[in-house]
Amino acid sequence: MSFIRDGLTIGAVAVGAFFFLAGMVGLLRFPDTLSRLHALSKADNLGLGLIVFGLLFQEDELFPALKLVGVWLLALLAGAIVAQLIARAAIRDRPSA
């Protein structure tokens, strides 16, 4: 049982870390602000989400697990709204973009 749980954790956390890596590459390599924003928001939401998902298999109690999910939901909410605000600011700064 713990073997399966560990396997799920390893899989999800590894994919999550990969998303962070991908997001960083996008952030550094993509040519303009909006495509960088696109790469970033994927990394933000999926990367952290998968890491939280993986860590959930290691939690035995309910409250710490709920707290982990809460942290992720908070980051998701903040990420979505900040991305929206940044995109508007970026479009205003460079109308041609």
Partner 1 sequence: MTLTFAFDAILALALVAVAAWTTAARDMFAAVAGSVAFGLLMALVWVRLAAPDVALTEAAIGSGVTGGLLIAVGARLRRNGASPGAEPPGAILRCTAAVVCGLVTVGLGAIVLLSPEPAPTLAPLAARHLPQTGLGNPVTAVLMAYRAIDTLLEVVVLLLALVGVWSLAPDRYWGGRPGMQQHEDPNGVLAFFARLLPPIGIIVAIHLFWVGSVAPGGEFQSATVVGAMWLLAMIAGLVDLPPIDRPGVRLGLVVGPVVFIVIGLAGTALAGAFLAYPPGHAKLLILVIEIPVTLSIAATLGLLVVGPPQRMPPG
Partner 2 sequence: MANFLLAAAVVVLTTVALGMIRVLRGPGAADRIMAAQLLGTGGIAVLLLLARAIPMPGVVDVALVLGLLAAFVSVAFVKAVGGPAPGDAERAGGE
Residues that bind partner 1 (CB under 8 A): 74, 77-78, 81, 84-85
Neighbours of 85 (CB within 10 A): 9
47 forms part of the interface with partner 2 (CB under 8 A): yes
Contact assessment for residue 40 and residue 24, using Cβ atoms and an 8 Å cutoff? no
Output 4 or 28, the one with its CB closest to partner 1: 28
- 9-38 residues in contact with partner 2 (CB under 8 A) are 9-10, 13-14, 16-17, 20-21, 23-24, 27-28, 33, 36-37
48 forms part of the interface with partner 2 (CB under 8 A): yes
| CA angle, residues 66, 50, 10, in degrees to nearest 5 | 105
